[in-house]
C-alpha cells in the first residue's frame, strides 16, 4: 500500500513515523530534513493541488492524508475526490471553520454551544470605536489563516489599538476582518478529534503551551510545548466536554456538512468548558504527543473514518506520560534566522526527537523554520517524562536555540 502525507512540519513527521509501523510505502510532500527516515520526500508544494493530483495518479497512491490547513481551505479534498482519489481531510465547506473565526463563532452561537461573547468587524474605525465599550483584557483575533499567531490578548486599550492597527493598517495578518472576543481566564484543553461523517471521536486530550515565555508570558506562537495526558481533568469535566462535542456533531448534521477529517476543538475551562476555536487539522504540536500516546494503528483509524465504520473502542493508548518541549529559533515568533547547523540529535537515546523546521544537506541537519525540533520525554509519571525531555533538550545545539523551561512543570 502507498500513502502520501502532505505537509512539512512536526505534525507530518509524527504522522509519517506512526504510519511507518503499518509497513506501508510512504511519500511526503514536501516533508522535511527528518521525514526522509520514513518516507520518500517529494518536491511538490502542499498548495500545488494539480501537481499533487498528477503525482498521486502517476505513483498509484492508495491514500493521501492532508496535514496543514492551507490545502484543505483551498479545496484539495474536493479536487481529489472529483478525480476518484482516496483522501483523508475535510472538504472546503468544512474548512471554513479554520479559514474564518467569524464562521466558527456563528456556528457555535447558532447551535447554542458555549463560547465567549464576541463581535466581528470589517472596518478599522468601527472596531476602534468598540474598544470603548469593552472590559479589559480583551481578545483580538485576525480572521483567517494566521498559523496560530493571529491572536492578541490585549491587557488595555492601547495594546488593543496596536493589535487592530497591525491587522487593518499594517496588514501583517493578511486579514480584512477581526473578531473581538471576551477574555476567559482558565485552563486550556486541546481536543483533537477524528470525525467520520459528522460523528466525533476525540483522541486523548492534550495541553498546549502557546506563549513563548515561561509562566505563559509573551507572544502567542504556534505552540512551544505539549503534555499528555492532562492530569487535572475530572470525570465531570470530561463528561461536559463530551456533551459539547455531541452538540457540535448535531450541529454539523443539522447544517448538512458530512464532515470527515480532523476537528481540533480548543477549550478554555473556567467554571465550565467554553469553545475557544476550531481548527480542521491535527494540532501542532499536539499531534506529536498524541502519536506517541496512541497504540492503535493510525492507518486503520483513518480508513475506518472514511468508510464510516469508526467506533470509540478503536482508540487504544499506552499508560505512559509524555512531555514535549519545542526548540525554536532565536527571535521566534517574530523575526529569526534560518540555516544554522544542528548538532547533538544523535546523542538523544531516550526521548523522541521530532523534526519540525529542519533541512538535511550533505548528511547534516540545519534549521529551516521558527519551530525547529520537539523533544518528547516519556515515563510512568509526569515528573519522569519532563525530566527526560529536559535532559535530552540540553544535548541538542544550534545557534540562537531557545525553549521554555516550564513545560510539564
Which DSSP string corresponds to 185-212? -SEEEEEEEEEETTEEEE---BEE--EE
Q: Could you give the CA distance from residue 404 to residue 391 in angstroms, rounded to a whole number?
A: 13
Residue 297 CA to residue 316 CA, distance in Å, equals 9
Report the percentage of the chain scoring pLDDT > 90: 92
CATH superfamily, domain 187-314, is ATP-grasp fold, B domain (3.30.470.20)
Q: Which CATH class is domain 2-89?
A: alpha beta
Paired residues of 202 in beta bridges = 193
**Residue 234 confidence (pLDDT) above 80:** yes
Question: Confidence class of residue 321 from pLDDT cuts 50, 70 and 90?
Answer: very high
Give the integer Cα–Cα distance in Å for 166 and 121.
Answer: 14
Residues 92 and 72 sit within 8 Å (Cβ to Cβ):
yes
C-alpha dist (Å) from residue 407 to 15, 207, 258, 353: 23, 10, 37, 16
Q: What is the pLDDT of residue 175?
A: 82
CA–CA distance, 355 with 365 (Å, rounded to integer): 10
Quick one: pLDDT at residue 30? 97
Q: CATH classification of 123-176 is 3.40.50.300, yes or no? A: no
According to CATH, where is 3.30.470.20 located in the chain? 187-314
Residue 395 has pLDDT above 70, yes or no: yes
Please give the model's pTM, rounded to 2 decimal places.
0.93
Report residue 172's pLDDT band, with 50, 70 and 90 as the boundaries.
confident
User: Has residue 149 got a pLDDT over 60?
Assistant: no
The arithmetic mean of pLDDT across residues 288-305, rounded, is: 98
User: Which of the four pLDDT bands, split at 50, 70 and 90, describes residue 217?
Assistant: very high
CA dist., res. 383 & res. 226, Å (int): 14
Counted residue by residue, the chain has a size of 409
Asked if pLDDT for residue 144 goes beyond 90, the answer is no
- Position 47 scores a pLDDT of 97
What's the pLDDT score for residue 265? Answer: 97
Cα gap 374→290, rounded to integer Å:
13
Q: Would you state the pLDDT for residue 226? A: 97
At the topology level, CATH places domain 321-398 in: 3.90.600
Helix (H) or strand (E) holding 73: helix 69-73
Query: C-alpha cell of 269?
Result: 475551562
Residues 6+ apart with CB under 8 A from 256: none
Res. 401: pLDDT tops 90: yes
Calculate the average pLDDT of the chain. Answer: 95
Cell of 103: 464562521
Residue 33: per-residue pLDDT = 97
121: pLDDT strictly greater than 60: yes
Instruction: Tell me how far apart the alpha carbons of residues 366 and 94 are, in angstroms, rounded to a whole number.
Output: 36
How confident is the model over 156-164, as a mean pLDDT?
94
**Average pLDDT for 72-101:** 96
- Taking each helix axis from N to C terminus, what angle separates 10-20 and 298-307, rounded to the nearest 10 degrees? 100
What is the predicted pLDDT for the residue at 184? 93
Q: Outline which parts of the chain fall under CATH 3.30.1490.20.
A: 123-176
Within 10 Å of residue 240's Cβ, how many Cβ atoms? Answer: 16
Query: How far is 46 from 139, CA to CA, in rounded Å?
Result: 31
Q: Is the pLDDT of residue 174 over 90?
A: no
Is the pLDDT assigned to residue 147 strictly greater than 60? no
Confidence of residue 173 (pLDDT cuts 50, 70, 90): confident
Whether residue 234 is preceded by a cis peptide bond, meaning omega within 30 degrees of 0, is no
Give tens-digit pLDDT for 196-211.
Answer: 999 999 999 999 999 9
pLDDT for residue 304 is more than 70: yes
Strands (E), 241-395: 261-269, 273-279, 321-328, 341-342, 352-355, 358-361, 364-367, 371-379
Provide the greatest CA pair distance for the chain.
59
pLDDT for 167 beyond 60: yes
**CATH 3.90.600.10 domain extents, the chain:** 321-398
Q: Give the helix/strand (H/E) hosting 79.
A: helix 76-82
Whether the CA torsion 209, 214, 218, 221 is positive or negative: it is negative
- pLDDT for position 176: 81
How many C-beta neighbours within 10 Å does residue 41 have? 17
Q: Is 118 exposed, middle or buried (0-12, 13-18, 19+ CB in 10 A)?
A: middle
Amino acid at each position: 500500500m502507498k500513502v502520501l502525507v502532505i505537509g512539512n512540519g512536526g505534525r507530518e513527521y509524527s504522522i509519517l513515523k506512526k504510519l511507518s509501523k503499518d509497513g506501508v510505502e510512504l511519500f511526503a510532500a514536501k516533508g522535511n530534513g527528518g521525514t526522509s527516515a520514513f518516507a520518500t520526500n517529494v518536491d511538490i508544494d502542499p498548495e500545488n493541488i494539480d501537481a499533487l493530483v498528477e503525482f498521486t495518479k502517476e505513483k498509484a497512491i492508495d491514500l493521501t492524508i492532508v496535514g496543514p490547513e492551507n490545502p484543505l481551505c483551498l479545496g484539495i479534498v474536493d479536487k481529489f475526490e472529483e478525480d476518484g482519489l482516496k483522501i483523508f481531510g475535510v472538504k472546503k465547506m468544512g474548512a471554513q471553520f479554520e479559514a474564518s473565526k467569524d464562521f466558527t463563532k456563528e456556528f457555535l452561537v447558532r447551535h447554542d454551544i458555549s463560547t465567549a461573547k464576541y463581535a466581528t468587524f470589517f472596518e478599522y474605525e468601527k472596531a476602534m470605536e468598540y474598544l470603548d465599550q469593552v472590559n479589559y483584557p480583551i481578545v483580538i483575533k485576525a480572521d483567517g489563516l494566521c498559523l496560530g499567531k493571529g491572536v492578541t490578548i490585549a491587557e488595555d486599550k492601547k495594546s488593543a489599538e496596536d493589535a487592530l492597527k497591525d491587522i487593518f493598517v499594517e496588514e501583517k495578518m493578511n486579514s480584512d476582518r477581526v473578531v473581538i472576543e471576551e477574555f476567559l481566564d482558565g485552563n486550556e484543553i486541546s481536543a483533537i478529534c477524528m470525525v467520520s461523517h459528522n460523528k466525533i471521536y476525540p483522541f486523548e486530550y492534550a495541553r498546549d503551551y502557546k506563549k513563548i515565555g515561561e509562566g505563559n508570558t509573551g507572544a502567542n506562537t504556534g505552540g512551544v510545548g505539549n503534555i499528555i495526558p492532562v492530569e487535572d481533568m475530572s470525570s465531570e469535566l470530561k463528561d461536559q466536554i463530551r456533551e459539547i462535542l455531541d452538540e457540535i456533531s448535531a450541529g454539523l448534521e443539522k447544517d448538512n456538512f458530512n464532515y470527515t477529517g480532523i476537528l481540533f476543538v480548543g477549550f478554555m475551562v473556567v467554571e465550565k468548558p467554553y469553545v475557544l476555536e476550531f481548527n480542521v487539522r491535527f494540532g501542532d504540536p499536539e499531534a506529536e504527543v498524541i502519536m506517541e500516546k496512541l497504540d492503535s494503528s493510525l492507518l486503520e483509524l483513518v480508513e475506518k473514518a472514511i468508510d464510516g465504520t469508526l467506533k470509540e473502542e478503536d482508540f487504544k493508548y499506552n499508560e505512559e506520560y509524555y512531555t514535549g518541549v519545542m526548540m525554536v529559533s532565536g527571535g521566534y515568533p517574530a523575526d529569526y534566522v534560518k540555516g544554522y547547523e544542528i548538532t547533538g540529535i544523535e546523542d538523544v537515546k531516550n526521548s523522541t526527537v521530532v523534526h519540525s523546521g529542519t533541512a538535511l544537506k550533505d548528511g547534516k541537519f540545519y534549521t529551516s523554520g521558527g519551530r525547529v525540533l520537539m523533544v518528547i520525554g516519556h515515563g510512568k509519571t509526569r515528573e519522569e517524562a519532563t525530566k527526560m525531555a529536559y535532559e535530552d533538550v540540553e544535548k541538542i545545539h544550534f545557534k540562537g536555540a531557545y525553549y521554555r523551561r516550564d513545560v510539564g512543570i
